[in-house]
Amino acid sequence: MTKTKHQQILNFIEDLDIGSKVSVRFIAKELDVSEGTAYRAIKEAENKGFVRSIPKVGTLRIEGVKEKQIEDLTLQEVAQIVEGLVICGEKRLTECPNKFIIAAMELKDLARYLEEGALCIVGNRTDAQLLALKNNVPLLISGGPGPTEEVVALAKSLNSVIIISPYDTFVVTTMINRALFDRLIGKELLLIEDIMVKDAKVLEDSATIGDWYKLSQKTGHSRFPVIDNQHNLLGIVTAVDVAGEGVEVKITKVMNRNPLTVGRDDPVTHISRKMVWEGWEIAPVLENGKLIGIISLQDVLEAFQQIQKQPQFGETVDNLVLSGFGYVEESEYLTIRGEITQFMVNEFGSASCGVLVTLMNTAGYIALRKKYRLDAITENFSFYQFHPVPAGTVVSISARLLLVTKKNCNIEIEVFNDNGVLAKGMMTARMGDKR
C-alpha cells in the first residue's frame, strides 16, 4: 500500500471540480471511510487551501493558491520594483514569471526563448512586443515611449499584461536582480519546508516486505517511511533492512524505529551536517509526530547548488569550522581529518583554542551519535595543547568513548598528525534522548 485512507481522501478532494460541495457524509459514503476520518481529512484540506467553509452555504472545493518559492516575484511586485505603470492585464498580476527574457536579439532568435510563464523585457520594438504577446508572454516595456495602439489592443484581446517602466533595460534588470538577491538575503535560513517533498511514498504498518518490493520497483527508490493509519511515523525501512527476509514478513519487524527526523522549521545547513556525519540518506519531516514530508540527501545537495551565490546562507561558525573535515574510514575510533585553514588561526598564525575545542567537541558528539544514536549536552571540557598547530597543517581528531551510562558519558579526544599528538581533551556530557 502506498497511500493511507487519509491521503486518499485528500487526493479525492483535490480532484473534485472547483465549486463542488464537500461534506463529511459525502466523503464517508464515496470512499467508505468513517465520518471521523472524513472530518479530519476535510479539516486538513481546509488548512491546505483546497476547500473553504462558507456560512449558510457549506464547504466548497476552491482553487488553491500555488505555494511560492523563495525567489518568486509576482508581476505586481515586478511592477512596483521597476516603478512601472500597468497598462492592461490587472487580473493576471498575481502570476509569477518563471524566467525573464531580454529581447535584445533578432526576432527569429527571440522566438526560440519565448514560452508561456516568462516575462519579456523589451524596449520600443513593436515587432518584438507583438511576437511576445502572440506567444502569451507578458511585457515589461523599458524606457522610451509607450506601446502602440496595435500592441495594447492585442494584449487586451489576449488578456495579457503590459507594464511600462521609465527606466532603460539595463536599469530595469538590475533592479529586478537586486530585489531577488535581497529576498534571498532577507530569508535568513533555508528551512526544511523549503525543500521537502510533500507527497512522499510510504508504507503502512500492515505492509509486508513483498509490498516493499512492489513499491521499490514502481518508484525506483529503496527507502520509505512506515506510518500507521493516523499518519504517525513508526520508522523507516531500507533495502538493508529487508535483505534476506521473506516476502510475507511484516515491515514493522525489520524497520528502523529510530530514524533521524526533522521539523519543517529546521535549518537545512544544520540537518545536512547531521545527515552527512551520521550516514542518513533520507529524513522524515514531522509535525506533532505526523509525517508531512520527507527530504533526501540529494534534495539537500541540490538546494545548496541553487544557493551557491549565497555562501552565507544558514552557515553557523561550527559549520564553517567543520566544512573541510571528513571521516577516516579505516580508523579504530571515530576519526575526522581536515586542514587548519587561515579562517581558523589566531594573530600568531596557529589554530585558535576555540577552533580546536569546537573540532574536538564535535568529534565527541558525532562518536556518541554514530554509535548509540544519542544526543548529549557538553557539561565540561578539559583542554590541553602541547604544540601550536599552524595554518596548513592536516590534522586528525579521534574520539574514544570511555564510559557511557544512562545519564552521562566520558569521551577522550586527541588531535594529532604524523609528528604526534598536538592537543588532548576530556569531554563530559549529559545524555539526551535517542533520535
Q: Is the pLDDT of residue 313 over 50?
A: no
Which pLDDT score is estimated for 286?
92
Work out the pLDDT band at 63, boundaries 50, 70, 90.
Answer: low
The sheet that has 334-339: what strands, in order across it? 326-327, 334-339, 394-404, 408-417, 420-434, 374-385
Which pLDDT score is estimated for 53?
77
Mean pLDDT within 233-247: 89
Q: What is the pLDDT of residues 347-357, one digit of tens each?
A: 788 888 888 99
Work out the pLDDT band at 170, boundaries 50, 70, 90.
Answer: confident
Measured CA to CA in angstroms, residue 152 lies from 104, 141, 253, 390 at distances of: 21, 12, 67, 68
Mean pLDDT within 90-102: 86
Mean pLDDT within 221-227: 90
Here the cell at position 407 is: 545519564
Which pLDDT score is estimated for 311?
38
Which pLDDT score is estimated for 319?
62
Q: What is the pLDDT of residues 111-130, one digit of tens each?
A: 888 888 889 999 888 999 99
Report which of residues 225 and 192 the model is more confident about.
Answer: 225
- How large a percentage of the chain has pLDDT more than 70? 86
Q: Is the pLDDT of residue 338 over 70?
A: yes
- Helix runs in 114-188, H state only: 126-134, 149-157, 169-186
Q: Is the pLDDT of residue 178 over 60?
A: yes
Which pLDDT score is estimated for 327?
77
Of the listed ranges 67-81, 329-343, 367-381, the one predicted with least confidence: 67-81
Report which of residues 431 and 205 the model is more confident about.
Answer: 205
Which pLDDT score is estimated for 32?
84
Which pLDDT score is estimated for 253?
93
Which pLDDT score is estimated for 413?
95
Q: Is the pLDDT of residue 138 over 60?
A: yes
Q: Is the pLDDT of residue 426 over 90?
A: yes
Measured CA to CA in angstroms, residue 358 lies from 32, 54, 344, 365, 381 at distances of: 57, 56, 11, 10, 10
Q: What predicted TM-score, i.e. pTM, was given to this entire model?
A: 0.40
Mean pLDDT within 101-118: 85
Mean pLDDT within 20-29: 86
Report which of residues 184 and 4 the model is more confident about.
Answer: 4
Which pLDDT score is estimated for 232?
92
Cα distance between residue 280 and residue 277, in whole Å = 8
**Most confident by average pLDDT, 73-77, 287-291, 424-428:** 424-428
Q: Is the pLDDT of residue 71 over 70?
A: no
Task: Mention every residue, 6+ apart, whose C-beta is less than 8 A from residue 171.
Answer: 142
The rounded mean pLDDT for the chain is: 82
